[in-house]
Amino acid sequence: MELGTISDMILKNTMVLNAQPKWTFGKNTCNTYEVYAAYFKAADGSLIPSWPILEIIEKDEALTMLFSITLLREAVRQTKEISLRVKSNLTLSLNLLPKFAESDNFVEQVRTCLNDFDLEAKRLQFEVSELQDINDDGCRNLNIIHDELGVALVMGNFGTSRTNMPLLRRIHFDGLELDRSYAAQIPEDELTCKIAIAIQHMAHTIDMFLCAKGIETQDQFEFFEEIGTFKGQGSLISPPMTMEEMEKYVKLYALPMGHK
């Protein structure tokens, strides 16, 4: 697909967003959900899976910026509208591309978006994969939106083959997301269980929460709940869904406005 065609699809905001909830253990509630571009809508109305297009976008700096800003604004807009309709303070979680975080206008783009749609900064959460390298400008920008604006930051894919402890020390993260490969071996593999418990203890020690991804069975759910994991995500809790389905889901499980 040509870059011009992709740019045109982004400018026309043809992205179709999907979402997946993050369950709060112990409270049996869901006020947080992860949003991503699942499809792009073609001129004939057909849906094009996003993953091959995103691979092209990530290789081009201009497309990365255009896509990131459009996704941020559309996701924040829909989050605010859904929050008002279901009368609940929802938290939006978005995966962040390093080139966007490293850009000169990243902080201002985030600030402007929050102001334009009147979304509290604490209702926005960026997921930063430990698999990605972020330069000094990106780290500084992320710490600014965290410390000055109040946007939450989470290190995703934690515990993979290249666990990024230096990044953990440079950015003011609020939480860790345990890579789904751990849940896949729980509770059958004893060592994996022990490592997951150790990571939970580490997160608690450094004042971070832990979110376990890839939960597909009741045994996995109960394991993470028992060891004190804050949130969980996976097909058992809910598979990815449309934003319309997500609104119905949070209407059932989200706490109402005014909760502590």
State the Rg of the chain over Cα. Answer: 18
Judged against a pLDDT cut of 60, whether residue 260 lies above it is answered with no
Judged against a pLDDT cut of 60, whether residue 183 lies above it is answered with yes
pLDDT of residue 1: 65
* Residue range of the domain that includes 246: 3-251
The total number of structural domains in the chain stands at: 1
Q: What digits encode the pLDDT tens for the residues 101-154?
A: 999 999 999 999 999 999 999 999 999 998 888 999 999 999 999 999 999 999
Give the domain CATH number at 98.
3.20.20.450
Contact (Cβ atoms closer than 8 angstroms) between residue 63 and residue 51: no
Q: What digits encode the pLDDT tens for the residues 37-84?
A: 999 998 888 999 999 999 999 999 999 999 999 999 999 999 999 999
- Residue 161 or residue 39, greater confidence: 39
Q: Is residue 129 part of a domain?
A: yes
Q: Is residue 114 part of a domain?
A: yes
Q: Is residue 256 part of a domain?
A: no
Q: Is the pTM of this model over 0.85?
A: yes
- Dmax of the chain from CA atoms? 53
Q: What digits encode the pLDDT tens for the residues 197-227?
A: 999 999 999 999 999 999 999 999 999 999 9
Q: Is residue 259 part of a domain?
A: no
Contact (Cβ atoms closer than 8 angstroms) between residue 143 and residue 171: yes
pLDDT of residue 5: 86
Contact (Cβ atoms closer than 8 angstroms) between residue 197 and residue 224: no
Judged against a pLDDT cut of 80, whether residue 13 lies above it is answered with yes
What's the CA gap between 94 and 124, in Å, rounded?
A: 8
